[in-house]
Amino acid sequence: MTVDAHRNVFGSQDDGTEVAQFRLRHGSLSVDIIEYGARLQQIFWHHDSGHLQKLIWGFEDLSSYERDEQYLGAVIGPVANRLKNATYRDGQSMIVVEPNWGCHQLHGGTLGLHQQIWRGELVSDHRGPALELTTTHADGTDGYPGNLFVKAKYVLAESGRLHIELLAKCDQRRIVSLTTHPYFQLSETGEDQLLSLFSERYLAVDQSQIPTGRIHSSRELFGHPFSTQGLDGLSLDHTFIFDGDRKSALAELQSEAVTLRVFANQPALQVYIARKEKQGAAVCFEPHGYVNAPNQEDFPSIMLTPGQRYDNQICYVFSETQSPKQTR
């Protein structure tokens, strides 16, 4: 079994700042990660036949990532997804942050974690090759109070497991909800992929895609309980919610060649189907807290205070497809 980890230079910014790329491999799975946005640049599946299959969307050069508006492969924060009117109340104080999606904020603002140069270091981990990246979201950036100290750890373990640990601490009260944003395409066109969601509820939204505070049954969204559906003709950009200890998979994506199962310790999973001409269809799985939580008193809090640690544990499990599922 091949186990390897090494560092390369990916590119340099206009000011000369060097951006590194790290490659981790454990058996049939390898990943490329860059310091710009702590992004998953590529995930590869090494088939026994020798075929090397790409599993996510990605670019080959730094300048394309600097122009990217789709957050390809990035760590998202300090607050993933949407924040209504780019404001939230903390006690008697109204916090105003930068709007970058109409009058709302999306994925942490213009200067979110996806735009930062993180610093990466290959580290030892009993599970397999590992990389730690760190950055600071500084006090006042895009209007957020206090410093947020963030660590992203990627670990390639046995049996096709990619562990992602998103950890954060702060020196002043602030809201935090981090996630990752890879676009998974496990087949040539993507439309023949099969999607399974293991949630019966989702957050209802208004015309601006902002949660209203109501929770609806997936039956209302699909006309029936969601089981397994092909991507062809399917449109999704919804937040599904979960109860319990969440030790079982939240979702599954399958092609004829590769199956992906998604695990996380978060109460919500944004599922977004994206399409590009000449490239096909891909699915984003974004585990995080409830969307717009500070503005909905009945939603679980995403407030982080000094002395607490934010901890988002994500695991993507890849395997060769053995028994293709049947659609509903």
Question: Is residue 327 a part of any domain in this protein?
Answer: no
Question: Is residue 39 a part of any domain in this protein?
Answer: yes
Report the pLDDT value the prediction gives residue 302, as an integer from 0 to 100.
98
Q: What are the φ/ψ torsions at residue 92 (nearest 5 degrees)?
A: -90, -5
Question: Is residue 325 a part of any domain in this protein?
Answer: no
Mean pLDDT of 232-261: 92
Per cent of the chain over pLDDT 70 is 97
Question: Is residue 313 a part of any domain in this protein?
Answer: yes
Mean pLDDT of 291-319: 97
Q: What three-state secondary structure class fits 245?
A: coil
Running DSSP on this structure, what letter comes out for residue 301? P
d(CA 196, CA 252): 5
Report the pLDDT value the prediction gives residue 243, as an integer from 0 to 100.
83
Mean pLDDT score across all residues of the chain: 95
Query: Please, are residues 297 and 290 in contact by the beta-carbon 8 Å criterion?
Result: no
Give the least confident one: 80-89, 145-154, 229-238, 291-300.
Answer: 229-238
Question: Is residue 195 a part of any domain in this protein?
Answer: yes
d(CA 277, CA 260): 24
Report the pLDDT value the prediction gives residue 229, as an integer from 0 to 100.
86
Whether the pLDDT of residue 32 is over 60: the answer is yes
What is the four-CA torsion angle of 167, 271, 240, 103, rounded to 10 degrees?
80
Query: Please, are residues 124 and 130 in contact by the beta-carbon 8 Å criterion?
Result: yes
Contacts of 289 (CB under 8 A, 6+ apart): 80, 177, 266, 267, 268, 300, 302
Number of domains in the chain: 1
Whether the pLDDT of residue 36 is over 90: the answer is yes
Q: Work out the number of other CB atoms within 10 angstroms of the CB of residue 301.
A: 11
pLDDT in tens, 56-66: 999 999 999 99
Mean pLDDT of 266-291: 96
d(CA 89, CA 152): 28
Name the residue among 312, 27, 283, 315 with its Cα closest to residue 162. Answer: 315
pLDDT in tens, 94-153: 999 999 999 999 999 999 999 999 999 999 999 999 999 999 999 999 999 999 999 999
Residue 175, both tokens: 């809201």
Q: What are the φ/ψ torsions at residue 67 (nearest 5 degrees)?
A: -90, -10
What single letter denotes the amino acid at residue 36?
Answer: Y
Question: Is residue 189 a part of any domain in this protein?
Answer: yes
Whether the pLDDT of residue 162 is over 90: the answer is yes
- Only one residue has tokens 């000449």, namely 278
User: Environment class of residue 122 by beta-carbon count within 10 Å: exposed (0-12), middle (13-18) or buried (19+)?
Assistant: middle
Report the pLDDT value the prediction gives residue 225, as an integer from 0 to 100.
65
d(CA 290, CA 296): 9
Report the pLDDT value the prediction gives residue 323, as an integer from 0 to 100.
74
Report the pLDDT value the prediction gives residue 326, as an integer from 0 to 100.
62
| Domain coverage including residue 290 | 3-320
Mean pLDDT of 59-75: 97
Whether the pLDDT of residue 205 is over 70: the answer is yes
Please list the alpha-helical segments (H only) found in 195-294: 218-222
Mean pLDDT of 188-216: 94
Reported as a pLDDT band with limits 50, 70 and 90, residue 278 is confident
Please state whether beta strands 119-123 and 268-276 pair in parallel, antiparallel, or not at all (unpaired): unpaired
What single letter denotes the amino acid at residue 311?
Answer: D
Whether the pLDDT of residue 246 is over 80: the answer is no
Q: Work out the number of other CB atoms within 10 angstroms of the CB of residue 305.
A: 12
Question: Is residue 326 a part of any domain in this protein?
Answer: no
Give me the CATH number covering residue 188: 2.70.98.10
Report the pLDDT value the prediction gives residue 81, as an integer from 0 to 100.
98
Whether the pLDDT of residue 86 is over 60: the answer is yes
d(CA 28, CA 304): 38
Is the pTM of the predicted complex or chain greater than 0.75? yes
Mean pLDDT of 190-203: 93
- Residue 220 or residue 191, greater confidence: 191
d(CA 231, CA 171): 44
Please state whether beta strands 130-137 and 119-123 pair in parallel, antiparallel, or not at all (unpaired): antiparallel
- Residue 259 or residue 324, greater confidence: 259
Query: Please, are residues 164 and 314 in contact by the beta-carbon 8 Å criterion?
Result: yes
d(CA 69, CA 3): 34
- Exposed e or buried b per residue across 226-253, where buried means at least 16 C-beta atoms within 10 angstroms of its C-beta: beebebeeeebebbbbbeeebeebbbbb
Residue 23, both tokens: 């490659």
Q: How far is CA 167 from CA 49, 76, 122, 190, 257, in A?
A: 38, 12, 17, 32, 33
Question: Is residue 131 a part of any domain in this protein?
Answer: yes
Report the pLDDT value the prediction gives residue 147, as an integer from 0 to 100.
98
